[in-house]
Chain A
């Protein structure tokens, strides 16, 4: 492109941005760093969120599989469609479905179902059950195409193929290509500079638990496995500035000398020449052996952010601690000592099923430059943990907020507030001074006094209740609004999305709810 062409292109982009609704939510967790912070929200605020109402609800024909149903929708603020410019929500359903919804009207624009090319083997492999539902299990990612207003969805279907779908009309723009083994369980996709990142867990389909990097120009797939413990961070891997993908690893031994990286955090980077995915850095808490013995996985998606000329990262664990790390060296010289570790926030009972941090972290910066870190947690608050502001007793879960501070040359997470009680608090999102969080209402128990371990959907689905969405003051955690009993179903392993004055939450019964301020 000559100089004139570039100027025209830039001008077109500038105009397009100026006319746009302003905000997108193109990937799970809102951005590559997985901070869950919507920086561009201008409509919903601390002062008007009390007036939030259900704008619309749409039932999608997605069939739940085990306890999975809808994933957090992705939002494109301005899409050129055959019927004009629209703001579109793309919601993925576990039964290999994609749905496009016009967010102004709540009407379905198109539906795409991926035909399955995978034939189950004659000899059964690991599959089925809550942990291995089959189907589409990774929240897709959306990337801008070469022209303004045009966007492409990148999604992995049950058969492991990568699909590239036009947001405007649901048409595939490229032949599906092989990405991951079929019947696996990939987690939310992340994207940067032509590379798609994900990871798998639970050994579904008999496949090893590995991280993947798909190089779009060459279609080469790089992999790396921790050799112990799958990677099941709710919102997939987080990406740092230099393109390293970070993820927590699940239950397994921590023995780096012998190539085993269970119950830790790993940083992996694509080799630009070979496209292989290589181990860059790693960390495990000093009590990793305890985590392994008690099934307290480090399975949380980290959040990465800048602070005082450093790139910091936070993550957590089912044990219920939050770790603050420097991406320059996440565990220090011995890979066992991060910048800071909180005391136990919850999980006094050392419960591997219904307590601890499940999901992903969040982080944002207020107008005064204070950097905040948020973590959801399940179960009761630890009796020895406290924050200056607490919003009532916590029995079933809550959001805990910390300020990132530097004191005497050392970084720390200082407790700031704890939210009200929520029935299984899930990963929050932040927008314009308001934290949106929800209790999923899911029955998370896996073992019962009368029968022992019996982690089956037939037992847990009837035991689940309904989700409740909350809006909290981001400075204090005070409840500003709640959906009360309006959401009639629960969800499992889903999340929130927010853009342009609308907050979205999907439920197990395949309803997508959209909340906002009515005009």
Chain B
């Protein structure tokens, strides 16, 4: 939101000046206009409800024996490289750059309305980076809790994924996503999952070497590459199977 305000203020202050300047500045004005348009779009649809809203209504209800799974998340989920669980009734509902409060807002539309048996919730990394404002472990935890409670209320089993690691192997990633905070948040997610009967999906341990993202499994130090997804896909399958096999209800 601060970024939106800053962009709008910049255009208001500099717009008249730039308009009277050279063609190069004309390009700058156009770039600012595009930025304002994008900011306006974010204001109008902060939670990203329009990203999948139309497609959601075109998905028929699951068949009686269908083990439908919805993956709700951010870049890590949306940008899944390689085949996304071919042959499986798994639905990707990741949105790049999203934070957990945004996911919470669209949880009803993008998860509950699709009537899955399991939801895999993956988020928190962009919260730590402050993409929608300052966020603490407590705030992220509250959002994850709310999503888990919504799932419970609708008979959906919950898998909570860890935040993936980062490294400075290509560029500085740890400044925005301090490794200690990732570890701390993952500790909270693991404890919460255990206390409520949800399944903890540990992407972190499989992708990290010490505190760093294994360089061979990432192309930018933040997102898994195709090899990284090959590592975590079976873990997701395992967690889903575990959730489906659970006899006890979410506590």
Partner of B54 from A287, A349, A351, A380 at Cβ < 8 Å: A287
Number of chain B residues close to chain A: CB under 8 A: 12
**47-72 of chain B: CB within 8 A of chain A:** 50, 53-58
Question: Which one of A53-61, A172-180, A288-296, A489-497 is at the interface?
Answer: A288-296
B37 CB within 8 Å of chain A: yes
Of all chain A residues, the one with the shortest Cβ separation from B53 is A290
Chain A, interface SS category: loop
Min CB distance A483 to B, Å, is 26
- Cβ contact within 8 Å between A287 and B41: no
CA distance A294 to B87 in the complex (A): 32
Query: In the complex, which residues of chain B have a beta carbon less than 8 angstroms from the beta carbon of A367?
Result: none
> Would A349 and B45 be within 8 Å (CB), given that A286-B58, A287-B58 are in contact?
yes
- Cβ contact within 8 Å between A294 and B53: yes
A455 CB within 8 Å of chain B: no
Partner of B56 from A290, A348, A349, A351 at Cβ < 8 Å: A290
- Cβ contact within 8 Å between B37 and A380: yes
Min CB distance A494 to B, Å, is 29
- Cβ contact within 8 Å between A290 and B54: yes
A339 CB within 8 Å of chain B: no
0/1 per residue, B64-92, Cβ < 8 Å to A? 00000000000000000000000000000
B14 CB within 8 Å of chain A: no
- Cβ contact within 8 Å between B44 and A351: yes
Query: In the complex, which residues of chain A have a beta carbon less than 8 angstroms from the beta carbon of B41?
Result: 348-349
Min CB distance B55 to A, Å, is 8
CA distance A332 to B56 in the complex (A): 22
Of all chain A residues, the one with the shortest Cβ separation from B40 is A349
**275-293 of chain A: CB within 8 A of chain B:** 286-290, 293
CA distance A10 to B148 in the complex (A): 80
Query: In the complex, which residues of chain B have a beta carbon less than 8 angstroms from the beta carbon of A287?
Result: 54-55, 57-58
Min CB distance A376 to B, Å, is 21
- Cβ contact within 8 Å between B37 and A350: no
- Cβ contact within 8 Å between A290 and B45: no
Query: In the complex, which residues of chain B have a beta carbon less than 8 angstroms from the beta carbon of A349?
Result: 40-41, 44-45, 50
> Would A288 and B45 be within 8 Å (CB), given that A350-B50, A380-B37 are in contact?
no
Query: In the complex, which residues of chain A have a beta carbon less than 8 angstroms from the beta carbon of B53?
Result: 290, 293-294, 350
Question: Which residues does B use to contact A, with CB under 8 Å?
Answer: 37, 40-41, 44-45, 50, 53-58
Question: Which residues does A use to contact B, with CB under 8 Å?
Answer: 286-290, 293-294, 319, 348-351, 380
21 of the cross-chain contacts (CB-CB < 8 Å) are A287-B55, A287-B58, A288-B57, A289-B57, A290-B53, A290-B54, A293-B53, A293-B57, A294-B53, A319-B54, A348-B41, A348-B50, A349-B40, A349-B41, A349-B44, A349-B45, A350-B44, A350-B45, A350-B50, A350-B53, A351-B44
